[in-house]
Amino acid sequence: MNHAADILRDPQRFTHEISGFQPRESQWVMAASVEKALRNQSDLVVEAETGTGKTLAYLVPALLDAGPTIVSTGTRSLQDQLFFKDLPVVRKALGVQRQVALLKGRNNYLCPYRMKLHQEEGRFLTRETADQLQTVVRWSTRTETGDLAELQELPDDAPVWPWVTSTADNCLGQDCPEYRNCPVMKARQNAQEADLVVVNHHLFFADAALKGEGVSELLPRAHAVIFDEAHQLPETAATFFGESLSARQMRELCRDCVSEAGHTAADIAELNERTAAAEKAVNDLRLAMGEEGRREPWHAIQQAQVVQDGATALEDALAALSAFLEPLKDASKGMESCERRAREQLEALRRLTAAKDPGQVYWFENFRHAFVLHATPLSVAEMFSRHRQGHQCGWIFTSATLSVAGDFTHFLKRLGLDNAETLRLESPFDFRRQSVLYVPEGLPVPGQPGYTRQLVEQMLPVIRAAEGRTFFLFTSHRALREAAELLREQLDYPLLVQGETSRRQLLDSFREKGNAVLLGTSSFWQGIDVRGDALSCVIIDKLPFASPGDPVGAARIERIREQGGNPFRDFQLPQAVLALRQGAGRLIRDPEDTGLLVLADPRLIDKGYGKLFLDSLPGMAKTRRLDVVQRFFRVIDEAAGH
């Protein structure tokens, strides 16, 4: 009998630590499979639907395993949950003294060098940023880890963060005068000594692409790598196996050059001219890209004379700055870093604007005062396979949504997992008893004029029947904004709208109010866990097919077509099914949860491919009648004593 499975069969192990813990067969099966993959150092892909208990099913064998383990999850908040909540419970239940560590990307930690540099310099700081800097300085005297998550007084988007954190670009490494006090280096040292390290996907793939973000020192020793929320991996990998250059990076370079120059014999007046010219060229190229909010292939604007002139001017300005810095690079480690960054940014600008690699999609996005140039690989399968083959260990991939109607082919192909064993574990929840799927009648096909207005009108009686307690999920920000305006006029319940405050504040407010309606787009489709009465209804505005205007998606579709494949069947449809499963998964999070899932898109019934979506969802009771929905809520409210 597998050791891990035996432990999870024993309710006495966890009942003191986890309220309401019940042994479940799906958890034993997954734990035994993970244990086997760790023993054989093989590849395992596990779809463990909501309620399976997948976290314990991989943590128990990982902590019992002889070798060091890297656990990577989707977000920093999930990292914190794993490290501060789940791991202590499992360690205590197992009675093992395995050493664990939490490792985040460098921008999550204080950089004492940059904090002191800007404290002394201060010339670029607004009053708000200067005040925030003093808050950071006071906190820095009492923190032990330097993890900025401790600093609750400042918001996630506080303008001070770039001034007190480092990037791979500007970190001085072992040459930094604050190296011995560096929180990033201390976190990495702790990770080196740990038996299990919790990271996130962004950090893992930044390291795979750049070598030097802290994981590359861990991988050669690792006996296993476990990816939770593995459905996010293909897109995360594509981001980091590609290349990007942002207006912000170039502006930060200019500011750092001036800040560092005080420690050298540089001609400050001439340096100011060079950095001012570079910043002007950045601003001019941004204006040449047209109105804000564009997200398009680079070739859409590449031939425009104003863009060519802007790119050439920026190239000349970076070249001039690089030439000025070259003789100064030995003056200080900070100036050496600036010279290297100027050279690397110049080379990146040339590559990204030349757009010559046929395996990459070259595209840009622009904002009110900024832009980013991107090169994204059409496929990461070969690169990721090469990376895995360089590190012989157990590779475990798990998520609630990896298959399309039970078929793993799409996920396996995207990551090049040719020899992986697959395992699918259905949710132990009784969806037929706990939930209803409602597909309303009479709505037009999405994209027709007035779709969102008609949808809102049809959903108002549903929201009233649910007494608020609703997630209203959208596939576009435009539809969300339109629905928000319509609902403000007619809704009797608190309305919470993505973008009006932080995601954490929205979720806290939703839970506290108990009768709110929350409107969200893609970031609310996954990684959200609201249990109990506060959430009783999830409405999804339409099937989540990717926007045809997305430059990376469009290029992948064209590549599939060129290779003789069917882009809709092979890419667009499975991607949409997986996204829908994530959104639908917000509803039932607990054996006692009940609720209504509304899929408003008539294509679910009218199109042949609708059956694939329905076959990929849990076995809920189904209806197309509003009176059935209203009766459902009356019954569950009476049962709850409302």
pLDDT single digits (tens) 272-323: 999 999 999 999 999 999 999 899 999 999 999 999 999 999 999 999 999 9
12 in a structural domain: no
Do 505 and 416 reside in the same domain of the chain? no
At residue 533, the pLDDT reads: 87
Q: What phi-psi label fits residue 125: left (phi over 0), alpha (psi between -120 and 50 degrees) or beta?
A: beta
Write the CB contacts of 451 (distance below 8 Å, at least 6 apart in sequence). 443, 444, 445, 542
pLDDT exceeds cutoff 90 at 219:
no
534 found inside a domain: yes
Say how far apart CA 396 and CA 301 lie, in whole Å: 42
What's the CATH code of the domain at 287?
1.10.275
Is 232:401 a contact under the CB 8 Å cutoff? no
CB atoms within 10 A of CB 607: 14
User: 360 - beta bridge partners?
Assistant: 377
Please state the φ and ψ torsions of residue 226, each to the nearest 5 degrees.
Answer: -115, 120
β pairing state of 243-246 and 517-520? unpaired
Q: Which residues pair with 473 in a beta bridge?
A: 520, 540
CA distance to 88, 286, 523, per residue, from 98 (Å): 11, 51, 34
Residues 264 and 398 in one domain: no
- Residues 475 and 15: their CA atoms lie apart, in Å, by 41
Mean pLDDT of 391-395: 92
Highest mean pLDDT among 112-116, 391-395, 458-462 belongs to: 458-462
Evaluate if residue 515 carries a pLDDT over 60: yes
Pairing assessment for the beta strands 224-227 and 69-73 based on DSSP bridges: parallel
Examine residue 19 and state whether it is found in any structural domain, yes or no.
no
Per-residue model confidence as pLDDT tens digits over 30-60 = 999 999 999 999 999 999 999 899 999 999 9
Residues 88, 119: contact at Cβ < 8 Å? no
Q: Please check whether residue 18 lies inside any domain of the structure.
A: no
Dist CA 640 CA 642 (whole Å): 6
115 found inside a domain: yes
CA distances from 423 to 33, 49, 245, 394 (A): 8, 11, 40, 15
The verdict on 155 and 77 lying in the same domain is no
Label residue 98 exposed, middle or buried (CB < 10 Å: 0-12, 13-18, 19+): middle
Among 204-218, 336-350, 422-436, which stretch is predicted with the lowest mean pLDDT? 204-218
pLDDT at 261: 80
- Which pairs from 353-362 meet CB under 8 Å and 24+ separation? 353/298, 353/302, 353/311, 353/315, 355/298, 355/299, 355/302, 360/242, 360/243, 361/297, 361/551, 361/552, 361/555, 361/556, 362/297, 362/298, 362/299
Question: What is the pLDDT confidence band of residue 641, given thresholds at 50, 70 and 90?
Answer: low
- What DSSP string runs through 95-149? T----EEE---GGGB--HHHHHHHHHH-TT--HHHHHHHHHHHHHHTT-SS-BGG
Q: Which residues of 561-587 are buried (b: 16+ CB within 10 A; e: fewer)?
A: eeeeeebeebbbbbbbbbbbbbbbbbb
What is the domain extent for residue 43? 3-7+25-99+194-240+380-425
- The domain boundary residue, chosen from 377, 401, 417: 377
Once rounded to an integer, what is the mean pLDDT over residues 592-612?
A: 95
492 plus 436 within the same structural domain? yes
Query: Minimal CA–CA distance to 311: which of 319, 376, 324?
Result: 319
Domain ends where: 181, 205, 225?
A: 181
Q: For residue 219, tell me if it sits in a domain.
A: yes
Assess whether 336 and 450 both reside in one domain.
no
**CA–CA dist 408, 572 (Å, integer):** 15
What is the band of 499 on the pLDDT scale with cuts at 50, 70, 90? confident
Same structural domain for residues 388 and 500?
no
Q: CA 31, CA 58: separation in Å to the nearest integer?
A: 6
Same domain, yes or no: 136 and 265: no
Let me know if residue 208 belongs to a domain: yes
384 and 312 inside one domain: no
Same domain, 203 and 60: yes
Mean pLDDT estimate for the chain: 91
Averaged pLDDT, 395-401: 96
State pTM to two decimals: 0.89
| Number of independent structural domains in the chain | 4
Q: What is the pLDDT of residues 148-206, one digit of tens each?
A: 988 888 877 788 998 899 988 788 888 889 999 999 999 989 998 999 999 999 988 88
Q: What's 375-390 look like in SS3?
A: EEECCCHHHHHHHHHC
| Rounded-to-integer distance, Cα 411 and Cα 233, Å | 9
Statement: residue 76 has pLDDT above 90 = no
**pLDDT class for 328, splitting at 50, 70, 90?**
confident
Q: Which is more confident, 155 or 410?
A: 410
* Domain finish residue from 160, 181, 202: 181
499 is written with which tokens?
């973008």
- Tens of pLDDT, residue by residue over 557-585, are 999 999 999 999 999 999 999 999 999 99
17: DSSP letter: T
CA 108-113-119 angle, to 5 degrees, is 100
DSSP state of 498: T
pLDDT band at 547 (very low <50, low <70, confident <90, very high): confident
pLDDT for residue 363: 97
Mean pLDDT in residue range 434-459: 94
- Answer yes or no: do 81 and 221 share one domain: yes
Per-residue model confidence (pLDDT) at position 627: 95
> Among residues of the chain, what percentage have pLDDT more than 70?
97
pLDDT of 216 above 80? no
pLDDT at 497 exceeding the cut of 80: yes
| Predicted pLDDT at 1 | 41
CATH number at residue 226: 3.40.50.300
Q: Which helix (H) or strand (E) holds 325?
A: helix 305-325
Residue 12 confidence class, pLDDT cut points 50, 70, 90: confident
Q: What is the mean pLDDT of residues 355-360?
A: 94
Distance between CA atoms of residues 171 and 175, nearest Å: 9
Note whether 247 and 267 are same-domain residues. yes
Same domain, 594 and 497: yes
pLDDT beyond 80 at 207: no
Tell whether 357 is covered by a domain. yes
Average pLDDT over residues 441-456: 94
The CA-CA-CA angle for residues 80, 83, 85, to 5°, reads 90
Band of the pLDDT at 214, cuts 50, 70, 90?
low
Cα–Cα distances (Å) from 321 to 117, 179, 335, 407, in that order, read 21, 28, 12, 54
Element (H, E) at 88: helix 87-94
